[in-house]
Amino acid sequence: MRFSRLTFATLLVVIVSTTYVFVKETSSGARFRIANNSTQNVTVTANWLERSKDLGIVKAGSVKPITVRGEASMVFAMRYDDGREIESKPVYFTSGTTINISISKDSVDVSYDF
């Protein structure tokens, strides 16, 4: 079977474009979307491997996005304005994943976007 130059060029463009999108998505890190659906401000800390990052205050009704490079398990610790503290279950992440952290008045839910 012989390919025409146009067919070959089209195939090459598709391969290069697909590779670019794949590399861009997987090298950008994991994206976390922290949504505070409670009526109180919440101070959030992310803990993974031997790292800890204070994400500051996530105001009631707001969303805070963060990006983390690498692959690990992360736990989010939340402290409400009234002093209560809760933690998320461990969340596995790797580059290219999007994880939703939803904070309510008394719990934390985790979901993945695929």
Model pLDDT, residue 23 = 55
Residues 26 and 72: their CA atoms lie apart, in Å, by 15
Write down the domain spans for the chain: 29-113
Look at residues 107, 84, 91 and name the one whose alpha carbon lies nearest to residue 32: 91
Note whether 65 and 74 are within 8 A (CB). no
Lowest mean pLDDT among 2-11, 46-55, 57-66, 92-101: 2-11
Exposure b/e, 14-40, CB count within 10 A at least 16 = b: eeeeeeeeeeeeeeebbbbebbbebee
3-state secondary structure at position 84: coil
pLDDT at site 22: 58
Which among 66, 61, 80 is positioned nearest to 33, based on CA atoms? 66
Identify which has the larger pLDDT, 114 or 77.
77
pLDDT at residue number 34 = 98
In the block, which residue shows the tokens 């409670």? 38
Give residue-wise pLDDT tens across range 3-37: 687 777 777 777 767 765 555 555 579 999 999 99
Q: Average pLDDT for residues 80-102, to the nearest whole number?
A: 95
**Could you give the dihedral angle defined by the CA atoms of residues 42, 46, 47 and 52, in that order, rounded to the nearest 10 degrees?**
-100
Please state the pTM of the whole predicted model.
Answer: 0.74
pLDDT of residue 56: 97
* For the chain, percent of residues with pLDDT exceeding 90: 68
Superfamily of domain 29-113: Domain of unknown function DUF5300 (2.60.40.2890)
